[in-house]
Structure 1
Amino acid sequence: MAHRFNVLPEKVSGNPTPFTFHVPEEKLIEFRELLRLSKIGPATWWNQQGDPNLGVSREWLAKAKETWLTSFDWRKHENFINKFPNFKIILEDNDLGQVNFHFAALFSAKKDAIPVIFMHGYPSSFVDFLPMMEILAEKYSPETLPYHVIVPSLPDYGLSDRQSLDQEMTLDRSARIMNQLMIELGFHEGYVAQGGDLGSMLARMMSARYKECKAFHVNMLVLNEGQEIPSFEDLSPRDVQTLKRTEAWSKTGLAYVLEHGTRPSTVGLAISSSPLALLAWIGEKLMEWTDPRNKFSLDQILSLVSFYWLTDTFPRSLYHATVIRDYIGIKPFPTSMEKPLGYSMFQYDLAVLPQPWVEELYPNLVFFNKHPEGGHFASIEQPEAFLDDIEKFVTTVSGLFKAE
């Protein structure tokens, strides 16, 4: 059904071609053999406690390995990915050379459809937005869809790669490529940027640097370097409780950022040496960063980790190095204070800004919604609520887009 939305816009100037994702059977056989031979580490006091503050437990890892080997069906998840129009496009960049770029899309037949680019973060992929795309494909036809929905694999993530490795993939370069993608798809007159996690940083950067980005919506927002913490007086008890939880997490859950950001070569090589190592490293985040009342199933976790393994994503995708080097504790993150901003705050995200603070810090805020459910992976955890916010925000800013 979703493949009805595969007709490219008239003004496309690039060379996107349809793409079907298929992992060769030999790679799946290799994966299963590596997993079978991967050793569960010895029992220790820490890994027997079942305390998420200590990381994944030995018992959970052993059960997950057994399920991964015996009953997990990768082809089922691969088929779901291929339900949607997928494309590859070659992008030329002055620094990076040729980038073999991937994106999924739902293209509208409406002349006044508003382009929206959705950008994932870590440890995520474009797959995070497929539940939302499924809802859209059931809700609209190509003739009624109000948007062009563009869902890329971030540069060096998933199904996007490049020929040359002479340059580091920085946030600046990634944002430039994202903007270039939208231009080559024919959206040079304007688009909306949306993102969470690293995607939220890219959306903010694109809002500040590219005129084609007319508005931006994020589902993660943090204080900029140099911004003073506003008063707590106007906050509700729930907001204060949420801030205390995120402050506690920042003291106990940020070790991975320092490792990714300061030793990306070591951690990339170590974690990509074994499927089991990758499952422990990413599985921890997929369990901890969600709403504790509605956690991912083991099948969901295994599918997301499998995608990282089967696309060799992890060692290529450690953008945290550029975040730490260029922005944390050094300079403000580029963010437009004029273009319309929308922010969806999900209660159990890792880093949040309460509404009174956002209103004080961002005079261009035109949409805010606080959700009592959902965590860091909002587009998977709460796809209906996530999409509803996007539709309301795009309606709010639709006056910036003129129909021809």
Structure 2
Amino acid sequence: MPSSPITPFRIDIPEADLVDLKERLARTRWPEAEPVADWSQGMPLAYTRELAEHWRTTYDWRKTEARLNAHEHFKAELDCLGIHFLHARSPHEGALPLILTHGWPGSIVEFLDVIGPLTDPTAHGGDAGDAFHVVLPSLPGYGFSDRPAETGWGIDRIARAWAALMADLGYHRYGAQGGDWGAMVTASIGRQDPGHVAGIHMNMPVAMPDAESLKDLTPQEQKALADLGTHGEWGTGYSKIQSTRPQTLGYALTDSPVGQLAWIVEKFQEWTDCDGHPENALPRDHMLDNVMLYWLTGTATSSARLYWESYRDPDLSEVGAPTGCSIFPHDIIRSSRRWAANRFTDLRYWNELDRGGHFAAFEQPAVFVEEVRRFFRLVR
């Protein structure tokens, strides 16, 4: 029996909430257009209006709700907080349990296209030996998980909760995977639960260069640092606000669906491999599915608080668990192999991809699945 209560959960948004959303969209008070011809001041007015009108008149949440509910969902009480998770068991004997962790501004919908290939590879042209039991939680304060009412829910506490969840599910040996905040949580799991973790895999592993490597940077490392510098100068307004004043920001995003839409979709444009337009990387309805996980649950404020908890002093301590890393070319932080090896001391898999961005499973589901399979073949 699990040490924490685990109860079935079903997503069932009241129709009144969907009506309210459409009414709010119809009453949007719009700003003037930007005086530039690109996204350099943020999400352009014309595209924002176009996407908001599609959201109001065409987008079908019930279709996505049904797609989500095709899987089993549960709530677990972990460290006195209700955590929502999707649990997709594999039909194959010997499947490896795998906990997948999203980041901000992501959600569990990022992974919907990879659940099938991961859990039932033979139904998707793969081998039964690559099968996983998938556990997909919503971070505290995100989606259908409860919102912490106290401070202290940072990366390490989340990682301990995830390890407890896997134990409660009877998974005494498991893998962990994540990107963005999910990569930080996954690294912390590898550090805190080495006796049970078969291995960890990350897209966007966070590992900084040491003083010695800075003396002799490769061209790829030079570009990675230059891109990170540009991001620091022009792309971190969101994180500075969320890490310092999440409550103040939350009033606007919780009240205005267009505000919530723009706050997230701008990141899809900036962080995906999209050649300038987010719909080159993600269908508009997929982007709206993700926005809905924030809007319908009213979690703009609580999700931003993770930055307040963990952003200013990230834990970059050494991790000894078997590690695999997949580096996508349009990600925000792109470590080099030697930087990563200084932090992840049992680095067994490294691959630098030729396409894809920050939302790897969302943008490149087939590539993502193959990367996860390749690493975990080494540690099963």
Instruction: Return the TM-score normalized by structure 1.
Output: 0.85
**1:147 is aligned to 2:144:** no
* Structure-1 separation of matches of 2:159 and 2:355: 30
**1:60 is aligned to 2:50:** no
Root-mean-square deviation (CA, aligned residues, Å) is 2.4
Quote the residue 1:401 is aligned against: none
Specify the code of the residue in structure 2 equivalent to 1:290. Answer: T
Specify the code of the residue in structure 1 equivalent to 2:10. Answer: T
Q: Cα 1:111–1:206, aligned 2, differ >3 Å: closer, same or farther?
A: same
* Structure-2 separation of matches of 1:203 and 1:321: 19
Indicate if the aligned counterparts of 1:205 and 1:335 stay in contact, CA closer than 8 A: no
Cα displacement string for residues 196-241 of structure 1 (whole angstroms, at most 9, x for unaligned residues): 00011111111112233342111012235x8437247563x45544
**1:295 is aligned to 2:281:** yes
5+ long unaligned stretches in structure 2: none
Indicate if the aligned counterparts of 1:221 and 1:353 stay in contact, CA closer than 8 A: yes
Q: Cα 1:21–1:160, aligned 2, differ >3 Å: closer, same or farther?
A: same
Specify the code of the residue in structure 2 equivalent to 1:277. Answer: G
Is the partner of 2:134 in helix, strand or coil? strand
Cα displacement string for residues 357-388 of structure 1 (whole angstroms, at most 9, x for unaligned residues): 33455431100111110000001111111111
Quote the residue 1:394 is aligned against: 376
Quote the residue 1:165 is aligned against: 149
Indicate if the aligned counterparts of 1:234 and 1:356 stay in contact, CA closer than 8 A: no
Quote the residue 1:17 is aligned against: 7
- The sequence identity of aligned pairs, in percent, is 33
**1:271 is aligned to 2:257:** no
The alpha carbon displacement at 1:325 in A equals 4.0
The alpha carbon displacement at 1:300 in A equals 2.1
Instruction: Compare 205-214 and 389-398 and name the one that shifted more.
Output: 205-214
Specify the code of the residue in structure 1 equivalent to 2:240. Answer: L
**1:373 is aligned to 2:362:** no
Q: Which of the numbers 174, 197, 210 marks the counterpart of 2:193? A: 210
Q: Which of the numbers 71, 75, 84 marks the counterpart of 1:102? A: 84
Indicate if the aligned counterparts of 1:13 and 1:185 stay in contact, CA closer than 8 A: no
The alpha carbon displacement at 1:19 in A equals 2.6
* Structure-1 separation of matches of 2:350 and 2:21: 44
The alpha carbon displacement at 1:84 in A equals 1.9
Quote the residue 2:141 is aligned against: 156
**1:71 is aligned to 2:58:** yes
Cα displacement string for residues 66-109 of structure 1 (whole angstroms, at most 9, x for unaligned residues): 11111111112212212222222233x2xxx2x22211122135
Specify the code of the residue in structure 1 equivalent to 2:313. Answer: D
Is the partner of 1:166 in helix, strand or coil? coil
Q: Which of the numbers 114, 127, 130 marks the counterpart of 2:112? A: 130
Instruction: Compare 147-156 and 11-20 and name the one that shifted more.
Output: 11-20
Specify the code of the residue in structure 2 equivalent to 1:190. Answer: R
* Structure-2 separation of matches of 1:106 and 1:359: 32
Quote the residue 1:197 is aligned against: 180
* Structure-2 separation of matches of 1:315 and 1:362: 33
Q: Cα 1:174–1:70, aligned 2, differ >3 Å: closer, same or farther?
A: same
Q: Cα 1:361–1:204, aligned 2, differ >3 Å: closer, same or farther?
A: closer
* Structure-2 separation of matches of 1:184 and 1:360: 33
**1:177 is aligned to 2:161:** yes
Q: Which of the numbers 303, 318, 321 marks the counterpart of 1:317? A: 303
Is the partner of 2:328 in helix, strand or coil? strand
Cα displacement string for residues 327-372 of structure 1 (whole angstroms, at most 9, x for unaligned residues): 3xxxx42441x21111000010011112343345543110011111
Q: Cα 1:165–1:13, aligned 2, differ >3 Å: closer, same or farther?
A: closer
Quote the residue 1:382 is aligned against: 364
Q: Cα 1:182–1:229, aligned 2, differ >3 Å: closer, same or farther?
A: farther
* Structure-2 separation of matches of 1:335 and 1:148: 28
Instruction: Return the TM-score normalized by structure 2.
Output: 0.90
Specify the code of the residue in structure 2 equivalent to 1:204. Answer: A
Is the partner of 1:192 in helix, strand or coil? strand
Quote the residue 1:186 is aligned against: 170
* Structure-2 separation of matches of 1:387 and 1:114: 14
Specify the code of the residue in structure 2 equivalent to 1:76. Answer: K
Indicate if the aligned counterparts of 1:289 and 1:348 stay in contact, CA closer than 8 A: yes
